[in-house]
Structure 1
Amino acid sequence: MARWILAGLVGLFGVAVFVLAVRDGRADSALLFIGLPVLMSIALVLMPGRTTHGRVFTVTTVGLLLAAVALHEGAICVVLAAPLVYAVAHGAAALLNWAEQPEKRYALLPIPLLLVLALEGTGVRLDPEQAVTVTRTVALSRDEVASRLADGPGSAGVRSVPLRMLRVPLPERVDGSGLAAGDRWMFHYPGSAHGSGGHTVTEVVAAAPGRIEFRVVEDSAITARWLVWRSATVAWKAVGERTEVRLSIVYTRRLDPSWYFGPVQQTLMREGAGYLLDTMVPR
């Protein structure tokens, strides 16, 4: 009975952590992706029974699906977070099971460390500012590249495998054109079951031969859930009879922990930047 009561208390505390994280706008922090799985694992291990990992898997899966509904997330966020959440939950459960043996009490030592790591994003953030750069060499002259860019992004490019598999939101339509300071481009995103996909408005803030710089003036796109666009630069130069075009994007990552979501978002952003560049200057 005592184990049931303790498990219930830990479980209730985990639910409280979830509610507070969402209410206080901390749903992007490590508190949700590390802290909550650890607490729920402790509760499940304390419950009587022999199928600890089976219970952990079931509850973790249900929790991910419920979080997707409660937080209005799409499949992409569930897929990206699932490996981390499963690893933390099953890892914590294994450590707690080992620690039940008197000679293996040391297995409890990583648990406080996991709970400390779960605080990232609740007050302190590590390297949230990130940037990606993609380069294409096209069979066009510098003037032809400038002309293509001035027309704005054209037809949809070819989505890479990661973008297709995860169904990463990409602009379905772009309004606007021009390379002069003050010219604006509006990127429209496809809607979902939860409403409009929103849009991102960029403005040319600096223009020079072979280089243009953009800033983001408005962003209501679905991607704002995971990152904040900051700026972008397109530069091009002649390389023999061809032209090298480079797109650099600066953004702020909104998901923590940094050691997990940093590389994941960097990879997806690089793929997305390549897709965008292909729509402006087809290879």
Structure 2
Amino acid sequence: MSVSSSDPKTRTISARRRNIYILLIIGITSLLIRALISYDFDRTALLYVGIPFLVALALLYVVQKPEQPSLHRYYGHVVMWSLIVMLGTSVILFEGFVCVIMFMPIYFAILFLMYLFQVLVEYLNHTNKGKHYAHVLPVIILMSAFEGVLPSVSFEREYSVTRELLVDASIQQIQQQLAQPMHLNVERNWLLSLFPMPTNIHAGTLSSGDVHKIDFTYHRWFVTNTHKGHMKLELTQVEHDYIRTTFLEDTSYIGNYLNLKGTEISFKTIENGGTKVTLTVHYHRFLDPAWYFGPVQEYAIGQTAALLLSELFVPNKA
């Protein structure tokens, strides 16, 4: 859309037309996302790369460039309208705030790349060089949108994250601490603070075969649209210097993003009489693309492991 005029009436008509287009983009985007959900493609890059790609294409056509050419100012307008589109589709689809926040970085990254594509095209046109080279960028983005659709276009999904902590206590003291009631109402890393803490932790003894239950309550809209779920964690193997757990069930909000498989905890006595505790968390990544969700989830799991070590494995702290 390239209407440009100083006539107020013309600008009003142009703004109305743009607003209609924005509403159409929100509606069509919502239908496309609903279709991906219905056909079980909502965990693939079709949703997290393909949808932003289509939205960016539509907005770069619909949003009118300012009369005084300024690519930076134009990009600001596109970002504003893209945020409106994202929030509009989120309301229609009843998405929670965590999903929206996690989606924002990749959404705006695709938008920026498409904006960069437009800048390259204009530059190559101005310099009379072959602008077809710039089209490599959207082709790469479009191809990457099919990650996860088939096993042949998927990357490694099994992950293990390990964290260690030196504790000034014996192995016996640490295991006695683990048998105490667990409380995790503590200050957390900025990413972890987006997610709700467990509301209840039902823990039995620290014996092999015990099953612990962890309850979660997630208010998708801060105070309403509530989702309740739980995790069931079995103590599969318990020894003097080693504990292995297995997640039997996960109906919490976390289960939408990844599949927690289990943990391994090892204890090693060090020279000063303390203990080196090593916690390894095994999980399966659901979401694509791997280049975004892989590092994000690995960071989040690593921060969670570090939090658990510092809060649950240090005697007299929890």
Q: Report the secondary structure of 1:154's partner residue.
A: coil
Structure 2 counterpart of 1:92: 114
3-state secondary structure, aligned to 2:164: strand
Cα displacement string for residues 164-213 of structure 1 (whole angstroms, at most 9, x for unaligned residues) = 6x422332321022232210111111331222331100111122221111
Mapped partners of 1:154, 1:215: distance in 2: 18
Q: Distance in 1 between matches of 2:106 and 2:227?
A: 29
Residue from 44, 50, 55 that aligns with 2:65 = 50
Alignment-derived partner of residue 135 in structure 1: 164
Partners of 1:113 and 1:135 lie apart in 2 by 39
Using the alignment, how far apart are the partners of 1:139 and 1:173 within structure 2? Answer: 28
Distance 1:143 1:167, change over 3 A: same
When residues 161 and 2 of structure 1 are mapped into structure 2, their CA distance, relative to the original with a 3 A threshold, is: closer
Runs of 4+ in 1 over 6 A off after TM superposition: 1-4
1:31 offset after TM fit, Å?
A: 1.4
Is 1:108 paired with 2:135?
Answer: yes
Whether the 8 Å contact between 2:63 and 2:77 is mirrored in structure 1 is no
- Identify the residue that residue 247 of structure 1 maps to in structure 2: 279
Q: Mapping of 1:224-239 within 5 angstroms? A: 224-239=255-270
Q: Is the 8 A contact 1:227 1:254 kept in 2?
A: yes
CA shift for structure 1 position 136: 1.6
Matched, 1:210 2:241: yes
CA distance in 2, matches of 1:70, 1:269: 31
Greater shift in the superposed pair: 29-38 or 101-110: 101-110
Unaligned runs of 5+ in 1: none
For 1:154, give the aligned amino acid.
M
2:8 is matched with which residue?
Answer: none
| Structure 2 CA distance for aligned equivalents of residues 220 and 237 of structure 1 | 34
Determine which of 39, 42, 46 is the counterpart of 1:24: 39
Say whether residues 1:79 and 2:101 are aligned partners.
yes
Distance across 1 between alignment mates of 2:300 and 2:287: 13
Q: CA deviation at 1:162?
A: 2.0
1:155 equivalent in structure 2: 183
Which residue number corresponds to residue 266 of structure 1? 298
TM-score under structure 1 length normalisation: 0.86
Tell me how many residue pairs correspond in the alignment. Answer: 278
Higher CA-based Rg: 2
Tell me which of 209, 227, 230 is aligned to 1:196: 227
- Write the distance in 2 (CA, Å) between the matches of 1:159 and 1:28: 31
CA contact (8 A) 1:169 1:222 kept: no
Asked if 2 retains the 8 angstrom alpha-carbon contact of 1:213 and 1:232, the reply is: yes
Unaligned segments of structure 2, at least 5 residues: 4-16, 67-73
